[in-house]
Amino acid sequence: MVGVVHKVSCQIMKAMGLIPQEIYRRVDLERVNICYMVDASDVMIGSRIGTVNSSVEECTPMYKEIEKETGVTCYFRVMKYSTWASWVNSEWQSSDDLIFNDIQASGDCEYGAALNLLGAELERYKNDNAYWIILNIACGKPTDNWESVMRKLNQLNQFHQALKIVINIESEYPVDIAKQFTGNIETVLSAKEVRKMKELILDGIYHYFGE
């Protein structure tokens, strides 16, 4: 029943023009890279980072349902950014192999460093045919020079074609910055609970995977 609802929702978004036709046709590619970007700055200390940790961990088994329904294979990589940006898992992992370790929050919010790291990863796989889904889970206002990095990132074809979602924790993240990342206000989302965040992440993916 849930799959049917998501498919109907996808068709509505497609008819409204929220899903570009050329992107909609490409979601049948065999490999899908799902990249989490997690704000781990000090504004996330406490229940906020706890919500993120629980959500990512609890969503992981559900990606198997997406794979079964769509026929694609999902691979995951998790990045955290605070005073610097780094990968939580050293390489891409399948849904069977993904192990998520809780992220601890502290430090500044160097968003530009995170965008740099993402850009390097996109460049690394620029010749692959994978479809990218990038989930930026954010709350803090950037403390570094991120604008120039964003302009460079927007020039990358894979970034341009990716589904980009911002999960705005407790509506604290600047919407104008989020929109520059997603390119579409419709994929700047709010989430205050683990359950709600889980639904938003899966909705975003189903909109592009659904037929």
DSSP 96-160: TT--PPPPPP-S---HHHHHHHHHHHHHHTTTS--EEEEEEEE-SPP-S--HHHHHHHTT-HHHH
Mean pLDDT of the chain: 78
SS3 91: coil
Nearest CA-CA partner of 44 in 166, 137, 121: 137
The residue that leads in pLDDT, 22 or 199, is 199
pLDDT digits (tens, 9 = 90+) for 106-118: 999 999 999 999 9
Q: Is the pLDDT of residue 19 over 80?
A: no
Residue 49 has pLDDT above 50, yes or no: yes
What pLDDT shows up at residue 200? 59
H or E element at residue 204? helix 194-209
The pLDDT value recorded for residue 196 is 58
How confident is the model at residue 188, as a pLDDT?
83
pLDDT band at 16 (very low <50, low <70, confident <90, very high): very low
Q: Which of 46, 36, 47, 153 is nearest to 85 (CA)?
A: 36
pLDDT in tens, 29-48: 478 899 999 999 988 988 88
> Could you read off the pLDDT of 142-191 as tens digits, one per residue?
999 999 999 999 999 889 888 898 888 877 888 899 999 999 887 887 76
**pLDDT reading at 137 higher than 80:** yes
Q: What is the pLDDT of residue 71?
A: 77
CA distance linking residue 199 with residue 193, whole number of Å: 10
